[in-house]
Amino acid sequence: MTKTAVAPSNLGAIDAAHHLHPFSDMKKLNAEGTRIISRADGVHIWDSNGKQYLDAFAGLWCVNVGYGRKSIADAAYEQMQELPYYNTFFGTTTPPTTLLAQKIASHSGPNLNHVFFTNSGSEASDTWFRMARVYWKALGHETKTMVIARKNAYHGSTVAGASLGGMKWMHEQGNLPIPGIVHINQPYWYVEGGDLTPEEFGLKVAKELEDKILELGEENVAAFVAEPIQGAGGVIVPPETYWPEIKRIAAKYKILLVSDEVICGFGRLGTWFGHQHYDFEPDLAPIAKGLSSGYLPIGGVLVSERVAKVMIEELGDFYHGYTYSGHPVSAAAAIENLRIIEEEGLVERVRDDIGPYLNQALLSLTDHDLVGEAVSVGLMGAVQIAADKATRRRFSKPDDVGTLVRNQCVSNGVILRASGDRMLFSPPLIISRGEVDQAVDTLRKGLDWLKDNHKE
Ligand code: PMP
């Protein structure tokens, strides 16, 4: 709401009457009442009762430059007056759309130098999924259509996005996955690693990609997709051995390697893109979130020379696109957002200063009886709750303990997310050391509360 338009005092009741929320049990939410977030600045948000929270989750992993950036609002306002909308379908473009593609390419390297714009990460998933199949077909490999993805991955909520994702409970709603998508195991050593060392386990699960390609037949496989660090699944930081082995396998067989950069892109890992941290070169890379820091919806797919060349030289029309692909106002906001990241050196700040600081702060929690592991890369971190640290035994209801600790943190003024029994950090890239301490101390308090109050 603007300052002059005051939200009605019964907004909660109106919300319950008319608004269906994403990923929510509406009966429960309507009974408990929704929290109304009405204002934000820097790393803080305020609810409609005036309570302030430290947002250690950057909205939904996206507000990389923090809230309250007037220059982004100005860029959008000016663009809206100049040209609020035009499409990019019929031989046209708009200045911010094209300039944004150039700016993104300046950071994604000489190989990933084309962009296809979408409005979200989910649409980006659907886009690269079609592109991968179209690419192989254009080369005459009609049978190369299967995509290998990972269990517990998240790639969006559209039909292709949710199918590519490996969340069983999402698949159960809507008869997913669609045909042509199969899932291999994730590199989640803490829970699935058994007696193997993390390094052995990393190699073992990476090798599953090779086994799956051989099982399906290389001539039938189009692509493998993974997030550099699995985000919504619980910030699953892979063992060091994982990505080099995936890189080796992807190079050995004729398949496309797809890096889902929706969370890991735009500085989150202390590099412009997550694949740069893990030193591999994807053929396609969906992006969104940090591209505009969430100020306006925009996403896209980064397309490598290899794929772009075929799309440009061989394909003819690609029958795919969105009314708002490359929307000029979103693009203008995104350009200003990227300019801020560059000017303030936020990627370097994450890599050299605040990322290592968060890592140390999280590691300080490992003396807690209920902390099984604490991991982070850049400003993406997770703390694993354990019932018994020595044996890596979990509480019998992982989701419940995560939610309890999350609720404690929120009550104490810090927004964190729980994924099962992992507590996730993904703060704005501008967070200060003192604010990191506040978030980590609040989590410690939440864990103390769990230790005292949750028995099984
Ligand atoms: N991919 C990943 C890795 C994501 O984390 C998300 C969103 N959390 C998506 C895709 C989907 O993005 P969106 O919600 O913008 O559709």
Regarding the beta carbon of 310 and ligand 1, being less than 6 Å apart is answered no
Ligand 1 centre from 294 Cα, in Å?
12
Residues 6+ apart with CB under 8 A from 83: 94, 328
Residue among 139, 137, 160, 90 at smallest CA distance from 301: 160
- Top mutation candidate among 62, 155, 424 for ligand 1, by most atoms within 8 Å of CB: 155
Average pLDDT over residues 350-374: 98
Contact 327, 120 (CB under 8 A): no
231 lines ligand 1 (CB under 6 A): yes
- The whole-angstrom separation of Cα 316 and Cα 310 is 9
283 within ligand 1 shell (Cβ under 6 A): no
For the chain, the average pLDDT equals: 97
* Closest atom, ligand 1, to C-alpha of 289: 15
Mean pLDDT of all residues in 223-227: 98
pLDDT by residue (tens digit) across 146-204? 999 999 999 999 999 999 999 999 999 999 999 999 999 999 999 999 999 999 999 99
Q: Is 227 in the pocket of ligand 1 (CB under 6 A)?
A: yes
pLDDT of residue 7: 74
Q: How far is CA 75 from the centre of its chain?
A: 25
Q: Which residues contact 211 (CB under 8 A, 6 or more apart)?
A: none
262, 292, 426: residue to mutate for ligand 1 pocket, most atoms within 8 A of CB: 262
CB 338 within 8 A of CB 426: no
CA of 393 to the centre of ligand 1 (A): 30
In whole angstroms, give the CA distance from residue 250 to residue 333.
36
pLDDT of residue 455: 82
How far is the centre of ligand 1, averaged over its atoms, from the C-alpha of 432 (Å)? 26
Q: 251 is written with which tokens?
A: 């190079």
Task: Extract the runs of DSSP E, i.e. beta strands, from 18-131.
Answer: 37-41, 44-47, 52-55, 114-118
pLDDT of 4 higher than 50: no
Q: How many CA atoms lie within 13 A of 415 on its CB side?
A: 22
| 3-state class (DSSP) for residue 173 | coil
- Confidence (pLDDT) at 75: 98
Q: Is the CB of 155 under 6 A from ligand 1?
A: yes
Residue with tokens 């699953």: 236
At 243-282, the pLDDT tens digits run 999 999 999 999 999 999 999 999 999 999 999 999 999 9
Query: Ligand 1 atom closest to Cα of 297?
Result: 15
- For the Cβ of 163 lying below 6 angstroms from any atom of ligand 1, the answer is no
pTM higher than 0.90, yes or no?
yes
Six-digit token string for 82? 């100049």
Tokens 């992006």, residue located:
287
Cis status of the peptide bond prior to 177, with omega within 30 of 0:
yes
Spacing, Cα 62 to ligand 1 middle (Å): 10
Asked if 328 contacts 119 with a C-beta cutoff of 8 angstroms, the reply is: no
CA of 123 to the centre of ligand 1 (A): 9
- Which long-range contacts (C-beta less than 8 Å, at least 24 apart) are formed by 23-26? none
Going by pLDDT thresholds of 50, 70 and 90, the confidence category of residue 8 is confident
Task: Report which of 125, 117, 133, 181 is spatially closest to residue 158, judged by C-alpha positions.
Answer: 125
Q: Which residues pair with 45 in a beta bridge?
A: 40, 53
Decide whether any atom of ligand 1 lies within 6 Å of the 288 Cβ: yes
* Count of positions (residues) in the chain: 456
C-alpha 388 to ligand 1 mean position (Å): 33
- What is the spatial distance between Cα 185 and Cα 150, in angstroms, rounded to a whole number? 6
The mean per-residue pLDDT over the stretch 218-226 comes to: 98
Q: What is the pLDDT of residues 316-340, one digit of tens each?
A: 999 999 999 999 999 999 999 999 9
Dig out the tokens for 432 from the structure: 């200060």
pLDDT for the residue numbered 109: 87
The residue with tokens 């050299």 is 352
Ligand 1 pocket member 150 (CB < 6 A): no
What local confidence, expressed as pLDDT, does residue 2 receive?
Answer: 59
Whether residue 263 has its Cβ less than 6 Å from ligand 1: yes
Residue type, 404: L
Domains of the chain in sequence order: 35-65+345-453 (3.90.1150.10), 71-343 (3.40.640.10)
* Other beta carbons less than 10 A from residue 50's beta carbon: 8
Contacts of 400 (CB under 8 A, 6+ apart): none
Residue 384 Cβ inside 6 Å of ligand 1? The answer reads no
Q: Is the CB of 232 under 6 A from ligand 1?
A: yes
Quick one: pLDDT at residue 5? 57
From 263, 269, 301, give the residue whose CB has the most ligand 1 atoms within 8 Å, as the site to mutate.
Answer: 263
Mutate to test the pocket of ligand 1, among 57, 61, 62, 122 (most ligand atoms within 8 A of CB): 122
pLDDT interval class at 9 (50, 70, 90): confident
Show the tokens assigned to 374. 């604490």
**Ligand 1: distance of its center to the CA of 436 in Å?**
25
Ligand 1 and 260: CB distance under 6 A: yes
Q: Is 417 in the pocket of ligand 1 (CB under 6 A)?
A: no
pLDDT for 46-87, tens place per residue? 999 999 999 999 999 999 999 999 999 999 999 999 999 999
Distance between Cα 272 and ligand 1 center (Å) = 17
Nearest by Cα to 115 from 130, 126, 99, 137: 99
CB atoms within 10 A of CB 34: 15
Q: How far is the CA of 320 from the centre of ligand 1 (A)?
A: 20
3-class DSSP assignment, residue 64 = coil
Distance 59 CA to ligand 1 centre (A): 13
pLDDT band of 456, cuts 50, 70, 90: confident
CA 276 to centroid of ligand 1, rounded, Å: 19
